[in-house]
Amino acid sequence: MAAPLTALVGRGMVADAELPSLTDAGRAVMEKLTAARRAAMADLLSRWAPEQHAEVRAMLDRLARASMTEPPLPAA
């Protein structure tokens, strides 16, 4: 097991199994981190004027569209 995963298991954040998964404590930490990241992003975006940054807006539009497509299937 890789050192970072071993550390997370040791801290009770991840269940040690064939396919590791978050524990309740791990999910709680992830939810707090996600909420903090969303709040920081909302603060950043509240000061952004998309009409002043057409190139950034176009890149974000492409990124959003790309993230909504299905990933390619692995070769058989």
pTM for the full predicted model = 0.58
Domain ranges for the chain, please list them: 3-67
User: Could you give the C-alpha distances from 7 to 19, 23, 24, 26, 33, in angstroms and in order?
Assistant: 16, 14, 16, 12, 18
Encode pLDDT of 46-74 as tens digits: 888 878 888 988 888 888 888 777 666 66
Q: Which residues pair with 19 in a beta bridge?
A: none
Encode pLDDT of 3-14 as tens digits: 988 999 999 999
